[in-house]
Amino acid sequence: MNTSEKKVALITGASRGIGKECALELAKAGYNIVITYAGNDDAANKTVSEIKALNVEAEAYKFDVSNSDECKENIGKILEKHGQIDALVNNAGITRDNLMLRMTDEAWNSVINTNLNSMFYMTQPIVKAMMKKRQGVIINMSSIVGVYGNAGQINYSAAKAGVIGFTKSLAKEVASRNIRVNAIAPGFIQTDMTKDLDTSKIVEAIPLKKLGDVSDIAKTVKFLVTDAPYITGQVICVDGGLVI
């Protein structure tokens, strides 16, 4: 059991990118941190060291969020150890882009499983524990393409639009238990996921004329977790004004 007085935040896909920065931001806010990742041990270990340097507890769990059994098993271990999860950030995600006519079943299924089905696998056991405590905050990482679509990303935009429906419905189900559920829809944020994109035309289309930084998302996560007691069921676009 967690003997510390500190609250616990679990962030999926936090070995690098947006998830890592969210973990660091919540650590700065005083949360003990559990991160999850798929396979990048070096990055996960480095993230854990950086979090521990902020004087909170941190540990990493390696499992596939698109696998229901792995989620159940690992969440069981995490809850047994910590006794609670106060904040859950469902962040892990992948892209497998192609035009619809060229998209394989595998590319469709892996993106839906990793980006959408994972929300259900991760959230169901954790929300059960939150309901018992009558307290909790959940943030689900959507995307602006789940709001306005994108050619070449039917799998990803369908999953991210699904995340929005999931968020709004769950927010209505659990509000009476003092659990808030919100989604963030990032625009184009500089991470490994976007590093191969030709961004010159994209930047031109962004009203604020620049790509986003991981800190733009992490600060929004921190706000929703710690400073937004009357906000639930919302989708916050953090996109430099791209979806106006």
The 136-141 sheet, strands edge to edge: 58-62, 32-37, 8-11, 87-90, 136-141, 179-186, 235-238
Tell me if 40 sits within 8 A of 90, measured CB to CB.
no
The 101-140 contact track toward ligand NAP, x by CB under 6 A, reads -------------x--------------------------
Taking the least distance from each CB to ligand NAP, the nearer of 36 and 220 is 36
Across 109-137, b (16+ Cβ under 10 Å) vs e yields eebbbbbbbbbebbbebbbebbbeeeebb
Catalytic status, residue 121: no
The residue range among 3-11, 33-41, 48-56, 76-84 that interacts with ligand NAP, by the rule CB under 6 A, is 33-41
The 75-104 contact track toward ligand NAP, x by CB under 6 A, reads ----------------xxxx----------
Catalytic member of 31, 37, 121, 156: 156
The residue range among 76-84, 128-136, 184-192, 220-228 that interacts with ligand NAP, by the rule CB under 6 A, is 184-192
Q: Virtual CA dihedral for 113, 117, 118, 121, nearest 10 degrees?
A: -130
Taking the least distance from each CB to ligand NAP, the nearer of 7 and 16 is 16
> Tell me, what amino acid is at 9?
A
The 163-182 contact track toward ligand NAP, x by CB under 6 A, reads --------------------
Least Cα distance to 136 among 217, 22, 56, 229 occurs for: 229
CB of 66 to ligand NAP, least distance (A): 5
CB of 144 to ligand NAP, least distance (A): 7
Determine which residue in the list 141, 158, 181, 218 makes contact with ligand NAP, applying CB under 6 A.
Answer: 141
189 binds ligand NAP (CB under 6 A): yes
How many Cβ atoms from other residues are within 10 Å of residue 207's Cβ?
A: 10
39 binds ligand NAP (CB under 6 A): yes
Cα–Cα dist 190/197, whole Å: 10
24 binds ligand NAP (CB under 6 A): no
Cα–Cα dist 169/108, whole Å: 24
Beta bridge partners of 212: 189
| Count, residues in the chain | 244
φ/ψ of residue 153, rounded to 5 = -135, 45
Count of residues that bind ligand NAP according to CB under 6 A: 31
Show which residues are catalytic: 156
Q: Point out which residues bind ligand NAP (CB under 6 A).
A: 12-19, 36-40, 43, 64-66, 91-94, 114, 141, 143, 186, 188-189, 191-194
